[in-house]
Structure formats: structure tokens, C-alpha cells
Structure 1
Amino acid sequence: MILKTKKPVVLLFALLLSLVLVGCNKTAYINSNNISEPSELKEALTQQNTVIIDARSAEEYAKGHLKGSINLTAGELTINEPVKAMLAPQEQINKVLSSKGISNDSNIFIYDNSGGVYSSRVWWTLKLYGHENVKVINNGVNAILDNDFELSLDIPSIKETNYEAKEVNSSYIATIDDVKKAIDDEDTTIIDVRSRAEFDEGAIPTAILYPHTKNLYSDGAFKSTRDTYLNYNDLGLKKDQSIILYCKSSFRATQTALLLEEAGYTNVKIYDGAWLEWSTKDMPKADKKPSTPATSQDAS
């Protein structure tokens, strides 16, 4: 009888150990082009051209923010015609960034409290318009609180600038026509980063469901480049493969794009019109509910 119980006990111990190890995952984005750890942010705060963007709502910002940070929401960089929450034109980008005191040579760091969704949307927009020195702070508000940054209720005085955005880099954007072609293109994969419930209510044909929340560890930090690569490799995605991401309004999709770029994926586009556009046009809908591909590397 004793011998019969050993195997279950060993298996239970192994399971518990694996859960502990998963919970101990730490992200270390060192020398990253797009993501900042708190140590890098602290160093950047000593430099004159650093701008910290709090991408949360104005109400959240008013309750307390990183000292010296400005409030710039992702919504300020969008338009609502012909579809809600689409990328704003160059003229609007110039006006908004100038009013926030941002210059073309500003070294920008962005944070939020939403798993990087709003920060990534601001990051993506700035990248599209040619601003290279912009990073998302890993784990956002949590990282700021955990690393004893100085908080404030004061709103910093802003000296207006004359920001000049470059022409939009269309290689980062997929149009509705691109998505229509991708449905029948074996070399392009469409990924839906919404929730399971949203996906089950309707989706683009052939799209794979992989919610953006799977890109985070349990503490809210971004998964490492290694874990991100392993997860998406399990979906069958190669680093040079053509990938189109979408969600409801392509805010969440930008978080996935950020992490895929960090993991070495080189051909990633955002369908900016997203489900809001697709669902209101005479576009084909998935006629069944594809299952989420299994992954053995889910460390969330």
C-alpha cells in the first residue's frame, strides 16, 4: 500500500514545485529598444530630455502620479471617424505632443496600470510617426510603487514645443483589405488578442485566439522574451512570419506587438480598424469557434 502512494505524492510535489517556479519568473529587459526596467528609468530621470508619460485616465493621474510625469492618454492620439479609436492623423499628433511639451529629441518613458495596454498604444503611435526614443515601463504603476519612486499630486508646468512627426510608417499597419487577403494566405497568421468571451461572440475567419493577458506573469509584469517566444512558437509562429494582430479597437493588440517585437518577430502588423470596423462592414465572420491552440509554456 505504501508503495502505491509514492507516485501520486511525487507527482503532487513536482506540480507544486513547478507552480512555485512559475511564480518566481522575473523579467529583465536590459538594453531593450522598447521596454524599460525601473533601474533604467531612475537613471533617465537625471537627464534633461527625459519625458515621463502617465497614460492612465485624467482622474487616475489626479489621484497621484510619478513626480514630474505628464498625463497623455492613448485616446488623445486617436480619431473616431470613420471608426472609433483609430490612429490620429499627423496634424493631430503634432498638436497634441507639442501641447504636452514633448520634443522630437525627447527620451520618452510611458506607464499605465493596465498591463501595458495604454502605454503600448502610445508607444505604437509614436513609433509609427518616427519617434524612436520611446519605451514602456515594465509593470507600470506596480514597478513605480515597488521601487520607491517619488509620487506627487502636483501637475508640472509645461512649455509648449513645436513637435514635427514624420510621415506614418504604414509597414506597421494592416488595412481591412490586408486582413481580407490574409484569410486565404497560408503565409499570414491573424491573431485575435481579445478575451474568450469576445472571441466566441464573433471573430475574423482563420484568426487564432491568444488573449493579451497571456503575455503577462501573475504579478502583472511582461513575460520575458524567452517565454514570449516559446509561447508564440507553440502556436506555430516563426519569427519572420507575417502576423496581423487585432482586438476590439487595437489597443490590446499593441501590447502584443510590443512583446513580439522584443522577442524577435520582425513582420508584425496591427489591424487598426479592428473588430469595430470588421463587425460593422459586410465582412465574413468565423462560422465556428476555433479553439485556442494548446501551449506548454503558459507561465501566466
Structure 2
Amino acid sequence: MQKQTKKWLLSLLLVLLIGTLAACAGSTAYTDAQNIVEASALADLMAQEGVVVIDARSSEDYAKGHLKGAVNLSPDELNGQGTIPSMLGTPQQFNRVMSKGGILPDSTVIIYDANGGVSSGRLWWAMKAFGHENVKVVNGGASAIVNAGLEISGDATQVTSSAYSSKGMDASIVATIDDVKDAVANGTATIIDVRTPAEFDEGAIPTSILYPHTSNLYSDGTFKSARDIYLNYKDLGLEKETPVILYCKSSYRATQTMLLLQEAGFSNVKVYDGAWLEWSVSGEETTSPAGPVEATVQDAS
């Protein structure tokens, strides 16, 4: 009888252990994350002092319906006016845009979009680059907000302008063309191209590895877990301390990848600000002939 009891207890413990492990392995939600927040946590967060929610979609989509209380701000508003139109603008321009959105340097900023974290990632990266630390992206974007049953409004949120002052550019997360040249010539960093295979085949930066940004998403459009991201990029040969430079066509899609790599513990990651738009006209070597490339709304990347 005692042996049977022991066997039963051991069997029960084994079942409980397997269930616990399965639950842990199956959980893909981001809880207590540095850069990502679940839509289910938004209501409580928005009730706190100093929280600003940004809808990074187009003004047309915002007008059709947005999270009540969200401010519409496109990442395009932070682009400079130079020969490469997608590069970040000046600190003064950044300050003006943040002030218009009612954002202060100590605000907690939460961003959502409807394109797999591309627009949110771009705003997140730009804000980080100019020294704003407390900024997060909603996992699953606008769809997740609707699915969470949060209140949707068609009325524009009334904003009281602020007086924002940035800390200047943080070069630790922004790669220049000289950084990329050094990586190509001397292997100082692993270069990852997050564009589509078709774009990669038309021309790419030498030594770069293709890994499309869409590979960072599950089939429902939510971000892969930090564990899955780590394992996927480890398969590419990356360790958490590996120097990495990410690029796409216009440094939008690459920022989504950076967001997730940083969340997964990769600590030495930069986005090439000039991206393929700059490299393709620089006279530098490419993997195949590449003429001048124009930024388009369709690519938005």
C-alpha cells in the first residue's frame, strides 16, 4: 500500500511538473518587459500620472477610430530634410514634435500601430536615440487593443503642448555609413538585412545576412517571445554581446527588429540610419548592381 501511494505521488508530481513546463513554454505574453507592453495592461497604465499613448498610424486611420485618449503622431514627423529623407532630424525638430504631442522628458510613452511594430518601433528608436528612456510598444498594436475591449473613439484627443528638451543623440544605438563600411571591411559587426528576399536579391550591403523583420512575428501578428527571438537569432550565429548593425530600405523595419533584440537581451545593437537609401547611392560596393532608390509609401521601411 505504501509503495502504491509513493508511485501515485510521484506520478502526480510528474504531471504537475510537465504541466508547469508546458505553461511556461507556451506563454508568449510580455510581462514586466523593458520595451513592450500587452494591450491588456493599458487601462491600468493609462490611469497613472504622466502616461502618454501615441497612435503611430496615419491620420486617416486615427480619425476612423483610435484608443480613447491616444495622440496621433507619425514617425515621419521626426525625419530630417536632407538628401536621404528617412534619416533622423535634428534635436530641435524632435523637441518640437514631442512638445506638440504634450510629451515631457519624464513621460511614460506607450506606442501602437497596425503594421507589425514597424511604425511603433521607429518612434521607439527615435525617442531612445534622443534620450527618452521610458517608452514602450504595444504587442499586437491596434488589433490587440480592440481585442482587449478597450474604448475606441473617433474624436481627436485634445493635447496641451509641453516644453520638451532632449538630451542629444545617443550614438550607441545609431550606426553611420562609416560604421557600416568598417563592419564590411573589418568584420567589426554582424550586418543584418531585414528587408524582403526580393529586395535583398536586387542588391544588398556586402557581408549582410538576410532575416526579414516579418520573421519576428507569430501568425497572429504579435511579437515572438523574447525566448524565441533569442533562439532564432542565435541560429544566425549571434550571441547577446555580438555587435550588430541592422538595416532595411529606410530604417523603419530595422527598428522593429532592434526593439525585439534588445528585449531578448542583445546588448550591442545599432540601426543604420541612412539604410539602403543611402548605401545604394554612396558609390560603395553592393552584392549586385544597384541604382538610386527612392523612398515610397508602399515600402515605408
- Cα offset, 1:187, TM superposition: 4.4
Contact 1:190 1:245 in 2 (8 A): yes
Contact 2:182 2:188 in 1 (8 A): no
What is the alpha-carbon distance in structure 1 between the residues aligned to residue 254 and residue 27 of structure 2? 23
- 1:247-262 → structure 2 map (5 Å cutoff): 247-262=248-263
Q: Deviations over 1:210-268 (max 9, x none)?
A: 00000000000000011000100000111101100000001000000000001110100
Contact 1:192 1:246 in 2 (8 A): yes
Q: 5+ residue gaps in structure 2? A: 1-21, 290-301
What is the alpha-carbon distance in structure 2 between the residues aligned to residue 287 and residue 158 of structure 1? 49
Aligned to 1:40: 41
What is the alpha-carbon distance in structure 2 between the residues aligned to residue 27 and residue 59 of structure 1? 32
What is the alpha-carbon distance in structure 2 between the residues aligned to residue 26 and residue 199 of structure 1? 33
Q: Residue 200 in 1 paired to residue 201 in 2? A: yes
- 1:168-183 → structure 2 map (5 Å cutoff): 168-183=169-184
Number of corresponding residues: 266
- Cα offset, 1:280, TM superposition: 1.0
Q: Which runs of 4+ in 1 moved over 4 A?
A: none
Contact 1:115 1:216 in 2 (8 A): yes
- Cα offset, 1:100, TM superposition: 1.2
Q: Structure 1: which amino acid aligns with 2:146?
A: L
Aligned to 2:5: none
Q: Structure 1: which amino acid aligns with 2:151?
A: E
Q: Deviations over 1:61-114 (max 9, x none)?
A: 111100010000000011141311111110001111101111112111000000
Q: Structure 1: which amino acid aligns with 2:237?
A: G
- 1:92-103 → structure 2 map (5 Å cutoff): 92-103=93-104
Q: Secondary structure of the residue that 1:197 maps to in structure 2?
A: helix
Aligned to 1:155: 156
TM-score by length of 2: 0.86
Aligned to 2:86: 85
Q: Secondary structure of the residue that 1:86 maps to in structure 2?
A: coil
Contact 1:54 1:70 in 2 (8 A): yes
What is the alpha-carbon distance in structure 2 between the residues aligned to residue 206 and residue 270 of structure 1? 16
Percent identity over the alignment? 55
- Cα offset, 1:39, TM superposition: 2.9
Aligned to 1:295: none
Aligned to 1:105: 106
What is the alpha-carbon distance in structure 2 between the residues aligned to residue 30 and residue 127 of structure 1? 21
Aligned to 1:277: 278
Q: Structure 2: which amino acid aligns with 1:265?
A: F
Moved more, 210-219 or 122-131: 122-131
Contact 2:91 2:168 in 1 (8 A): yes
Aligned to 2:63: 62
Contact 1:187 1:241 in 2 (8 A): no
Q: Secondary structure of the residue that 2:186 maps to in structure 1?
A: coil
Distance of aligned partners of 1:62 and 1:26 in 2 relative to their CA distance in 1, 3 Å threshold: farther
Q: Deviations over 1:126-181 (max 9, x none)?
A: 11111111100000011101100000001111111101111110111111111011
Q: Structure 2: which amino acid aligns with 1:179?
A: V
Aligned to 1:122: 123
What is the alpha-carbon distance in structure 1 between the residues aligned to residue 164 and residue 182 of structure 2? 36
What is the alpha-carbon distance in structure 2 between the residues aligned to residue 251 and residue 27 of structure 1? 24
Aligned to 1:140: 141
TM-score by length of 1: 0.86
Distance of aligned partners of 1:282 and 1:187 in 2 relative to their CA distance in 1, 3 Å threshold: closer
What is the alpha-carbon distance in structure 2 between the residues aligned to residue 41 and residue 262 of structure 1? 19
Q: Residue 29 in 1 paired to residue 20 in 2? A: no
